[in-house]
Amino acid sequence: SPLHSLLVALPKCEHHMHLEGSLSPELLFRLAAKNSISLPQSDPAFESVESLYARYAAFTSLDDFLGYYYIGFSVLLTQSDFEELSYTYLSRAASSNVRHTEVFFDPQAHLSRGVAVSTIIGGFQAASQRAETELGISSLLIPCLLRHLPVENSAACFGEMLSANLFSSQGSGGVLAGLGLCSTEIAKPPSVWKDIFALAEANGIRRTSHAGEEGPAEYVAKALDDLHAMRIDHGVHAADDEGLLEKLAVQKIMLTVCPVSNVRLRGVDDIKEVPIRRFLEKGVRFSLNSDDPAYFGAYIQEVYCQTEDAFGLSVDEWGMIARNAVEGSWCDDTRKGEIL
């Protein structure tokens, strides 16, 4: 498309990228060797970089992907592992004119392996500061609670982060910019995490939640009503409910949409089925994101270009998408002003 060079030059913000989802097969095998971690012998996908990429190209669902995603976690042990992972992502994002990014991570799945939140934060912060100085990209970090674990495990993990004053709203220079919720969705309605999100709100912590990826529009509504989510991650099934779309538009709730992820996890058969046009018609704000780029074979630049190829958006529409992405970011107004 003639718009591809414009889409490269466009100043971008990313709001939906799981740090662990940027672990490439190459880095996975290298860190496994360095840290003496054994990978599942019984799964032929782990025979080589190539076989692992081939398996990633054949995901059948969110849960099928998550199985591989959590195995990938096992190779991440030290602060320098997290620093390398973070800097590799940030430099790639910066090279695609991503000016600001908000990165998710899953603390519970590291705590259960004996890796402390401070190890992850330390590695991310070192990379974040270096990338900001050297490449001009700003970055924030957002922990996601995990829906496949008992809610008590979420409560304990959130309680620890709160007690340690890790959130930026807590006034002591905390590095965590907000709270998220992710992992398997079906049969895990947002309401279960209501008390934890209420405690977050009481502490001035921003809130976002995965919803409407595989789950119904009702889960998106619950994320708004029960979690007071300020953004919705994915949100594609919100398109099934006219009233909900109006509410999202009126309340200026931004959806962090991940069209290539939706294709790769078989939420849609074709990227053209992602309700991008519907969101535009209804005035629902959204940003475009990579989700787990190393697993889905597309970083944000490819996501922008594949979206353009599918929908043929106008220059004005792209300008609006880029502005909404800046506006929906959780950086301060000064930083927003620098980006646009």
Show which residues are catalytic. 213
Residues 238, 230, 167, 134: is their CA dihedral positive or negative?
Answer: positive
CB of 234 or CB of 285, closer to ligand ADE: 234
Residues ≥6 apart with Cβ < 8 Å to 243 = none
Closest to ligand ADE by CB, 18 or 285: 18
- Compute the least distance from the CB of residue 173 to ligand ADE, in Å: 28
Task: Name the one residue in this structure whose structure tokens are 């970055």.
Answer: 139
CB of 190 to ligand ADE, least distance (A): 13
Whichever of 144 and 224 has its CB closer to ligand ADE, that residue is 144
Residue ranges that bind ligand ADE, judged by CB under 6 A: 18, 21, 62, 69, 182-183, 210, 213, 261, 291-292
Residues facing residue 287 across a β-bridge: 256
> Could you tell which of ligand ADE, Zn ion, none binds residue 115, using a CB distance below 5 to 8 A set by kind?
none
Regarding 81 and contact with Zn ion (CB under 5 A), the answer is no
Q: Is 100 annotated as a binding residue?
A: no
Identify residues 120-149 at the interface with Zn ion (CB under 5 A): none
By beta-carbon proximity to ligand ADE, the closer residue of 147 and 285 is 147
Q: Is residue 102 within the footprint of Zn ion (CB under 5 A)?
A: no
291 known ligand binder: yes
Write down the least CB distance from residue 298 to ligand ADE, Å: 13
Only one of the segments 45-53, 113-121, 192-200, 289-297 lies at the binding site for Zn ion (rule: CB under 5 A); that segment is 289-297
Is residue 210 annotated as involved in ligand binding? yes
Tokens 């992972």, residue? 85
Range 290-309, binding Zn ion (CB under 5 A): 291
| Binding at 214: pick from Zn ion, ligand ADE, none (beta carbon under 5-8 Å per type) | none
* 15 annotated binding-site participant: no
Tell the smallest beta-carbon distance from residue 36 to ligand ADE (Å).
Answer: 26
Size, binding site for Zn ion by CB under 5 A: 1
Q: Is 226 in the site for Zn ion (CB under 5 A)?
A: no
Determine phi and psi for 298, rounding to 5 degrees. Answer: -150, 120
Taking the complex as a whole, the smallest distance from the CB of residue 289 to Zn ion amounts, in Å, to: 8
Minimum CB distance to ligand ADE smaller for 215 or for 328:
215
Instruction: Write out the chain in H/E/C secondary structure.
Output: CCCHHHHHHCCEEEEEEEHHHHCCHHHHHHHHHHCCCCCCCCCHHHHCHHHHHHHHCCCCCHHHHHHHHHHHHCCCCCHHHHHHHHHHHHHHHHHCCEEEEEEEECHHHHHCCCCCHHHHHHHHHHHHHHHHHHHCCEEEEEEEEECCCCHHHHHHHHHHHHHCCCEHHHCCCCCECCEEEECCCCCCCHHHHHHHHHHHHHCCCCEEEEECCCCCHHHHHHHHHCCCCCEEEECHHHHHCHHHHHHHHHCCCEEEECHHHHHHCCCCCCHHHCCHHHHHHHCCCEEECCECHHHHCCCHHHHHHHHHHHHCCCHHHHHHHHHHHHHCCCCCHHHHHHHC
Of 299 and 318, CB closest to ligand ADE: 299
- 148 in a known ligand binding site: no
| Least Cβ distance, residue 281 to ligand ADE (angstroms) | 25
Distance CA 319, CA 9 (A): 11
Which positions touch Zn ion (CB under 5 A)? 291
| Binding residue ranges for substrate | 292
| Binding residue ranges for Zn(2+) | 16, 18, 210, 291
| Binding residue ranges | 16, 18, 210, 291-292
